[in-house]
Amino acid sequence: MKILLKIARAFALVSALMIAPAAAANNECGVASWYGPGFHGRLAASGERYDQNAMTAAHKSLPFGTIVNVTRLDTNETIRVRITDRGPFIRGRIIDLSRAAASALSMIGPGVAQVRISVVGSTANLPGCRNT
């Protein structure tokens, strides 16, 4: 099991290094979706375990630990999430939210929503935070 964790962390680090130059601008608009039960407890691309009840998200290129505000455009509701995974893998979507984050934006029923994401910071250099 330790070897699988090391491989997952190495893969996450290499992926982050390869994608980092193409990271999204500070603001991006598009479709958000959510993921939850089928992935709960599995390793995320960052090497940490995905918790559907945490305020986290998956993004294609933002570095792990990036903190973003996600604003649902039709209701103006805003939440804050931390990027811990890669995705979404469905064309036209810009972010996959955890179940908790989607619930906070009233997205569980519809499954998707138009959003704006804005980078507000990073936990990458904070004590006690994972640096992957």
In the chain, where do the E strands start and end?
Answer: 27-34, 56-58, 66-72, 78-85, 93-97, 112-122
At 37 the pLDDT is: 84
The number of beta carbons lying within 10 Å of the beta carbon of residue 115 is 28
Task: Tell me the domain boundaries of the chain.
Answer: 2-122
CATH superfamily to which 2-122 belongs = RlpA-like domain (2.40.40.10)
- The tens place of each residue's pLDDT in the chain, 132 residues long, gives 555 444 445 444 444 434 443 344 589 999 999 998 889 999 999 999 999 999 999 999 999 999 999 999 999 999 999 999 999 999 999 999 999 999 999 999 999 999 999 999 987 655 455 544
The number of beta carbons lying within 10 Å of the beta carbon of residue 83 is 26
Pick from 68, 69, 67, 71: which is nearest to 105 by CA?
71
The Cα 81–Cα 97 span in angstroms is 8
The Cα 85–Cα 96 span in angstroms is 9
Please give the biggest Cα pair distance in the chain: 45
pTM score of the predicted model: 0.75
At 47 the pLDDT is: 94
